[in-house]
Amino acid sequence: MIGKFAFWPELASSFAWKVDAVYIFILLVTVLVSLGVYAAIVAFVVKYKRRSENEIPEQIEGNLPLEILWSVIPLGIVLVMFGWGAALFFELTTPPAEALNFYVVGKQWMWKVQHPSGKREINELHVPLGQPVKLTITSEDVIHSFFIPAFRTKIDAVPGRYSMSWFEPSKTGEYHIFCTQYCGNQHAQMIGRVVVMDLPQYEQWLKNGGASSVNSGETPEVAGARLFQEQRCVTCHQTNGIMAPVLQGVFGKEVKLQGGQTVVADEAYIRESILNPTAKVVAGYQPNMPTFQGQVTEDAIVQLIAYIKSLGGAPGEKTAAVKSTEEKPAEPQPTEEHAATSATEGTPAVGVPPADAGQPNAGTEAPATSPTEPQTDGTPSPNEEQTM
């Protein structure tokens, strides 16, 4: 056990060394300042020790240059820490436009992951080497925290809120996932792994799948289009805009509300509008939309958001295919093949859901309308794996 103990986590992402550099700098400054303070204490104790009861200490007047010096130097060091840390923070929270968009939902006591292609995993995440990966994270129950030490990536999964994290793997291999927020009596079992694969290997895995994955046959956008039809959202939101705002091109844009305020139509706003539609009412419309609280799961909300994003308004975001390494025109990627196969078998195309979209295809699992509880030992039940 001791022989396998690693003092320093492996560096396996493009910015892992940058996080370590800031940490080492702060640690070294802290150690040096602490040693300096301790040395000064010992020196003053020895030099100014009282040698007799009648000894009168020498009066020391203020030294303005010295006081300015020991104030300005620490201030400068702290400002360096702040500037360096702030620059790194903005880098870690600003994913590239071409990042692959994965959705992660935390649940006692598992991580549920959905790929851009629609493939789903529990407690595992397969990603391609050298390509940015964006994680949009939320929770179904309590606060969790998604931590990949080798990537220096940690983000809280908060109920009712979407958090974002990203990384770019720099080494192939398998890396641990931990939940770092105490979330119940099986918190220690809420673990998983990230599998980083070469691009051809990852594309083959997408095509063939693996033991840990479930291929629903639907991309998030297609599943969201089906839900949009099943929940009758199309009745008001894809007509002439009289009853409710038309959603084409709305994502990422500013929306004017009653009272004159504006809000950006991001993931959090769309989620709130589904579950609490009267919280922010668009100017010119009445609060007639019913709440879907308790009628749709977090997975379903994620799919609805993906569909609305696919209608336009979020330029540059990559949600469906893996970028090919070749410059020449390539054959359709596995994710496109899955979408095409689904469409030919009766799965609705994005934006044009057919009337019979509510009937799942043979061999294709429709998204669950209610969460399935995991087994008491913390491992997902067979039903949970099928609904994923």
Query: Are 83 and 104 contained in the same domain?
Result: no
Range of the domain at 201: 100-216+366-387
- Can you give the pLDDT at residue 347? 35
In percent, how much of the chain has pLDDT > 70? 75
Task: Kindly report the CATH number assigned to the domain that includes residue 195.
Answer: 2.60.40.420
- Can you give the pLDDT at residue 214? 54
Each residue's pLDDT tens digit, 234-267: 777 766 667 788 788 788 788 888 878 888 888 8
| 281 Rama sector, left if φ>0, alpha if ψ -120 to 50, beta otherwise | beta
Residue 112 lies in a domain: yes
Q: Is the pLDDT of residue 143 over 90?
A: yes
Query: Are 12 and 117 contained in the same domain?
Result: no
Taking the C-alpha atoms of residue 232 and residue 356, their distance in angstroms, rounded to an integer, is 13
Query: Are 113 and 208 contained in the same domain?
Result: yes
**351 vs 63, more confident:** 63
Q: Is the pLDDT of residue 7 over 80?
A: no
Let me know: does 133 contact 175? Beta carbons within 8 Å: no
Query: Are 188 and 141 contained in the same domain?
Result: yes
Q: Is the pLDDT of residue 298 over 80?
A: no
Q: Is the pLDDT of residue 375 over 70?
A: no
Each residue's pLDDT tens digit, 180-232: 999 989 999 999 999 999 999 988 888 776 545 555 557 777 878 888 877 77
DSSP letter assigned to residue 131: S
- Can you give the pLDDT at residue 271? 82
- Can you give the pLDDT at residue 21? 92
Which range, 76-80, 114-118, 311-315, 328-332, has the best average confidence (pLDDT)?
Answer: 76-80
Taking the C-alpha atoms of residue 54 and residue 85, their distance in angstroms, rounded to an integer, is 53
Query: Are 155 and 75 contained in the same domain?
Result: no
Number of other residues whose CB lies within 10 A of the CB of residue 268: 16
pLDDT mean over 313-317: 46
Query: Both tokens of residue 189?
Result: 């079992």
Query: Are 138 and 181 contained in the same domain?
Result: yes
Write out the DSSP string of 242-297: SSS---TT-TTSEEEBTTS-EEE--HHHHHHHHH-TTSSPBTT--S-PPP-TTTS-
pTM of this prediction exceeds 0.85: no
pLDDT averaged over every residue in the chain: 76
